Amino acid sequence: MSRVVILDYGSGNLRSAHRALERVGADVEVTADPEAVAHADGLVVPGVGAFAACMAGLHAVNGPRMIGRRLAGGRPVLGICVGMQVLFELGVEHGVTTEGMSEWPGTVERLQADVLPHMGWNTVDAPSETAMFAGVEDAYFYFVHSYGVLDWTLPTSDHMAAPLVTWTDYGTPFVSAVENGPLWATQFHPEKSGDAGAQVLRNWLGSLV
């Protein structure tokens, strides 16, 4: 049984993520203890609300350092919703620009849609090589957000495999998931996405080493 830590930094959505991961077979702990974070098989970074508030909460528990150390060692991390957004360089909300963790270049900005938030079920356009969506490539997933990454700008490299980027359309395309070695992230909520979301979590657990 894989040991998974959900990083507790004051963000919501911990209980539903905990239940969903237990249902797919993980041994789950909710904590910000550095030793537990370092030694878990997988780390989940949840997030709801404002980008700036989530970054403040992460800094308060030394989250960026713990996440960065795991990734430097090739240790799996899964970001969910704003827990995905904070992995990018910048977040711009209500005229306020906040620095993210810069694991990927890009800016989280307001979606270009007539009705916000984007709340409800939507499909994803995943790359053919995806491991995250294996078995659920054509499924619907549950979204609740008004901000996202509209432009993927990571340059190609001869030395590293390019991340697999999944897109969803709501007014305009936005990044709805990324698979980048040990770092996976989803803009949607797998823990609220029924059987399809459960399969995504199983796929992530299957990637843990």
Secondary structure of residue 52 in the 3-state scheme = helix
Place of tokens 């078995």: 135
Q: Which of 81, 118, 145, 179 is catalytic?
A: 81
Look up residue 21 and give its two tokens. Answer: 């991961």
Active site residue 89: no
Secondary structure of residue 147 in the 3-state scheme = strand
- Rounded to whole angstroms, how far apart are CA atoms 53 and 30? 19
Active site residue 94: no
- Rounded to whole angstroms, how far apart are CA atoms 15 and 140? 22
- Rounded to whole angstroms, how far apart are CA atoms 14 and 201? 15
- Rounded to whole angstroms, how far apart are CA atoms 89 and 101? 6
Active site residue 54: no
Look up residue 165 and give its two tokens. Answer: 């980027």
Residue 35's Cβ-side half-sphere holds a number of Cα atoms within 13 Å equal to 0
Active site residues per annotation: 81, 189, 191
